[in-house]
Amino acid sequence: MYTDAENPRASGDGSLHPTGTPEPRERMTHTLLLIDDNAIQAATRQTILKRAGYVVFAVLNPERALEQLRNNDYPDPIDLVITDHIMPGMNGAEFVTRLREFSPEMPVLVISGLAEAEDEYSALGVDFRMKPLLPQNLISTVQALIEARSSTRI
C-alpha cells in the first residue's frame, strides 16, 4: 500500500489517475438546516451548499424549524443551522434564543442585510455575516464552523 506521496498514480486532489479511474476521497457528509422565508434565497443557498457536498434541509418558517429540531425530525443530526435575520413570525435572534433553550451548543450562522442586526446576536454565540454572501464565502464559513465544532468534540 502506498501513501499518496509514494504512489506514482495518485494525485492527492481527487483528480483522475493516469489510468483514468477517479481517486477515492474520504469525505464526511454534514447535515445543515437552512431557514429563510425567501424561497428563492433558500433554494439558491441550498443548491450552493449541496454542490459543496452538504446535506441541506431548507425550511421557510422558523417556528416549523424549531419544532422539527426539538422533535429530531431529521434523518441525521443537524451539524449547523443557517438562518436569515428578518422573517415573519419571529426574527433570527428570537429563533436562536429559543433554539438555545434546548440546543445550547448548536453552531448557528446568521445572514442578514442589516448591519445593525448584529448587536442582537452578541450574547447568543452565533457567527454573523452580511448579505450579499458570495458562494465561496458561504462555503468557507460553513466549513470553518463545522470544523470548529468537530474539534471541540474530540
Q: Which domains does the chain have, with CATH numbers?
A: 31-153 (3.40.50.2300)
Measured between alpha carbons, how far is 36 from 8 in angstroms, rounded to an integer?
47
Q: Are 145 and 126 in contact (CB under 8 A)?
A: no
Average pLDDT over residues 51-64: 97
Check whether 154 has a pLDDT greater than 80: no
CA 124, 106, 89, 117 torsion-angle sign: positive
Average pLDDT over residues 119-145: 96
What pLDDT does residue 27 have?
42
What pLDDT does residue 153 have?
61
Higher pLDDT, 111 or 25: 111
Measured between alpha carbons, how far is 11 from 77 in angstroms, rounded to an integer?
33
Q: Which residue shows C-alpha cell 443537524?
A: 78
Check whether 12 has a pLDDT greater than 80: no
CA 85, 40, 138, 32 torsion-angle sign: positive
Average pLDDT over residues 66-73: 96
pLDDT interval class at 21 (50, 70, 90):
very low
pLDDT interval class at 151 (50, 70, 90):
confident
Record the pTM: 0.80
Candidate from 44-53, 84-93, 120-129, 144-153 with smallest mean pLDDT: 144-153
The DSSP bridge pattern shows strands 55-59 and 31-35 to be parallel
Give the model confidence (pLDDT) of 96-131 as tens digits: 999 999 999 999 999 999 999 999 999 999 999 999
Percent of residues in the chain assigned helix, strand, coil, to nearest 5: 40, 15, 45
Average pLDDT over residues 56-66: 97
